[in-house]
Structure 1
Amino acid sequence: MVGRVRNMVIVLTLALMPLFLRAIEVGQVRELAARHNVTSILVFGDSSVDPGNNNVLRTIMKANFPPYGKDFFNGRPTGRFCDGRLPTDFIADAIGYKRFVPAFLDSNSKPLDLLHGASFASAASGYDDLTANLSNVLPISQQLEYLMHYKILLRKLVGEKRTNDIIRNAVFILSMGTNDFLQNYFLHSVRSEQFSLLGYQNYLVSCMSRHIEALHRQGATRMVAVGVPPLGCMPLVKTIMDKTTCVESYNKAASYFNSRMQQKLATLRTSLGMKIAYVDAYGIVEDAVNHPMKYDLEETSKGCCGTGTVEYGDSCKGLSTCTDPSKYVFWDAVHPTEKMYRIIADEALKSLSDELVS
């Protein structure tokens, strides 16, 4: 039993290890991945992990145009709401399968490109299906349905047994929740009339639980769940609320949700027998905002695109950007820079390791 637990610690730690990690060389990372049979990375969520699935949807929630992708390979926009790569891309690169995780709906992706992982995530989605429906993007229920399509594709490619092995040894990553608050509860009246803020937070946790249970039924045994970042520190939120510092009420909503989320994850670890790790995105971003010099950052109050105060997605299209995004926490008024995503990956590894081996 001790040996199995130790092996899972290695596997889950490995799953969050970015390419640039100082403590362990890339060669060691890839050796560990092979030794512990990490087969693939399967990603579900919102714009924090969507590499371009929204490109094929009839929605305005897209980022497949400049200046997005400015620091991606060949400086090309892919649909990632960032200047470069996402945390999941660094994971794939570190393990050694690919330099980035492909979008499942990308028509340019061949079956072999998806063998070691895919992202089903959709920008503007959330734990609450209504959140996705408001923006005409993929709700988590649809993302789970695409997982079944993915398994059919794998069976045709490698057969039933190998498909089952791939799914069983995959690392599932779940990253969403921000839009449930910012684009749903705090903006539209449907949920706010149905639920108090506390009630809605509990509702989201119950939705998350059902989604994880559904993933478990489809074969998931390893899960990495990412908490909601400090919503009140986003430039857009500060602009709307006419604040120069982080909006405390929004941060409290995110913090309480994260607490309830962690409690539910602890229950699911026992009831489902899954290995579930939690990533404290809130603490990581908050620390970078409060102590930028610690991370070689300079600008924490605005994004790199346009004025950096309100622009994101379509409103960022074609605008000029800051000279050096690596000095910024935020790329646009909502989303982090590639540099910040690197920091999130690095710090997530440290906190995850402490939690699992202490």
Structure 2
Amino acid sequence: MAMMRVAMLMILSTAVTVPLLSRALDIHQLRQLLALKNVTCMLVFGDSSVDPGNNNRLATQAKGNFPPYGKDFFNGRPTGRFTNGRLATDFIAESIGYTSSIPGFLDPNVKKADLLYGVSFASAGSGYDDLTANLSNVLPVSKQLEYFRHYKIHLRELVGEKKAEEIIRNALFVMSMGTNDFLQNYYTEPIRSKQFSVEEYQNYLISCMLRDIKVMNSLGATRLVVVGVPPLGCMPLVKTIMGENKCVGTYNKCVGTYNKVAFSFSSKIKGKLATLKASLRMKTAFVDAYGVIESAINSPQRYGIVETSKGCCGTGTIEYGDTCRGLRTCNDPTKYVFWDAVHPTEKMYKILAEEALKSLIGNV
């Protein structure tokens, strides 16, 4: 247990994935549909699954702004994204026709004109529980929302108050987090586990999520997409820590207790989102994060994947973040579910984006 606590404490963040669409997405048709709905830009909150590099500007170890991260990004440039290339939010923005990548709000190279297409306030290592972010000295959602207020000021200066309010009202808000709340916080630190049972902590996180969504709504948000958590027990690092890779033939076995928690929590998120449509008059969509990794691991051939049990960086069983720095990687990341022992590959993020876009068409 002590070993598990030490190793779990290192987990900075994670990401999520979802199944491939049953048919190819018609990007031209999608853009027409979203244009009819006046979708203006994308504003992103969360953890490393949607952080394009905000942590680069923070005094934290939760960073990925060095090789081999970014190996397949434009010009092979590491940006702070915890993967080999782009994130799901980058692909979503490109598909809608905004930009090829969503910048971080703290990026000093962001130009004012870039604000029109949207930005990410996300911070790797964060979670619904502010304590989770504090453990890694990263941005809690409350701070991300504070930066969103700053964004609104910049936007008003750029296009005027009336136009700025219109942009916010028709913007697509995205929330993606939750993994760190359990792996880095609840199962590692003694604070929350002494205060709450697992189910009580899930309910506490839901209350935190609702609090933040209400703040977003008061600031003008009317369209929201929330990404659920992945099957936590299938992450290579978690399986290594929990001993599921000791014997040949057992490594592909995910840790059932952790998956049960992830599935349950995602179900709670989905249920609560349904109530917001009436109480806050918000249009909401849920992206099933749990389904994709489970599906990719159980039926990898459907996705053109070969390796589901380890990441592409180093041994693929324990390396992520700083411990992945400068290591050799696999020859073809498109054959892998995971880039490192925690985070998915660019390919899996693209799959996530396709599923998210499918949800947008029917809900927001």
Query: 1:8 — aligned with what?
Result: none
* 1:260-275 correspondence to structure 2 within 5 Å: 260-275=268-283
**Aligned equivalents of 1:356 and 1:109: distance in 2?**
31
Aligned partner of residue 115 in structure 1, secondary structure: helix
- 1:351 to partner: Cα distance: 6.0
Q: Which residue pairs with 1:309 in the alignment?
A: 317
Matches within 5 A, 1:206-221: 206-221=207-222
- The alpha carbon displacement at 1:193 in A equals 0.8
| Gap change, CA 1:291 and 1:143, over 3 Å in 2 | same
Task: Give the Cα separation in 1 of the matches to 2:25 and 2:264.
Answer: 33
Which residue number corresponds to residue 12 of structure 1?
Answer: none
The answer on 1:253 being equivalent to 2:261 is yes
Residue 100 of structure 2 corresponds to residue 92 of structure 1: no
Task: Tell me the CA shift for residue 268 of structure 1.
Answer: 1.7
Of residues 2, 21, 24, the one that matches 1:22 is 24
Distance 1:97 1:351 in 2: 18
Q: With CA pairs under 8 Å and 6+ residues apart, which has the higher RCO, 1 or 2?
A: 2
Structure 2 CA distance for aligned equivalents of residues 194 and 328 of structure 1: 38
Question: 110-119 or 72-81, which moves further after superposition?
Answer: 110-119
Write the distance in 2 (CA, Å) between the matches of 1:156 and 1:349. Answer: 31
Q: Structure 2: how far apart are the matches of 1:289 and 1:145?
A: 38
Return the offset for 1:79.
0.3
> For the residues of structure 2 that align with 1:290 and 1:27, how far apart are their CA atoms?
32
Measured in 2, the distance between the counterparts of 1:152 and 1:333 equals 39
The answer on whether the counterparts of 1:84 and 1:337 sit within 8 Å (CA) in structure 2 is: yes
Match of 1:329 among 318, 324, 337: 337
Residue 101 of structure 1 contacts residue 119 of structure 1 at CA under 8 Å; is this kept in 2? yes
Counterpart contact for 1:102–1:114, Cα < 8 Å: no
Which residue identity lines up with residue 31 of structure 1 in the other structure?
Answer: Q
Gaps spanning 5+ residues in structure 1: where?
1-15
Distance in 1 of aligned mates of 2:24 and 2:354? 9
CA distance in 2, matches of 1:167, 1:36: 13
Larger mean Cα displacement after TM superposition, 283-292 or 298-307: 283-292
TM-score where L is the length of structure 2: 0.90
Q: Secondary structure at the match of 1:278?
A: strand
Q: Is the 8 A contact 2:48 2:123 kept in 1?
A: yes
Distance between the aligned counterparts of 2:356 and 2:46, measured in 1?
A: 17
Matches within 5 A, 1:328-347: 328-347=336-355
Q: Aligned Cα RMSD in Å? A: 1.7
Match in the other structure for 1:4 = none
What residue identity is the alignment partner of 1:248?
G
Q: What does 1:100-119 correspond to in 2, within 5 Å?
A: 100-119=101-120
Report the CA distance between 1:37 and its aligned residue. Answer: 1.5
Calculate the TM-score normalised by the size of structure 1. Answer: 0.91
Does the 8 A contact of 1:111 with 1:153 survive in 2? yes
Stretch of structure 1 that moved more, 301-310 or 107-116: 107-116
Q: Is the Cα contact below 8 Å between 1:229 and 1:285 reproduced in 2?
A: yes
1:270-281 residue pairs with structure 2 within 5 A?
Answer: 270-281=278-289
Whole-Å separation in 2 of the counterparts to 1:205 and 1:79: 28
The SS at the match of 2:327 is coil
1:197 is aligned to 198
Is the 1:278–1:352 contact (alpha carbons within 8 Å) kept by the matching residues of 2?
A: no
Distance in 2 (CA, whole Å) between partners of 1:37 and 1:79 is 31
- Rounded to whole Å, the distance in 2 between the matches of 1:188 and 1:99 is 38
Find the aligned partners of 2:258 and 2:223 in 1 and give their Cα distance.
Answer: 31
Query: SS in structure 2 opposite 1:42?
Result: strand
Letter in 1 for 2:172: V
Partner of 1:129: 130
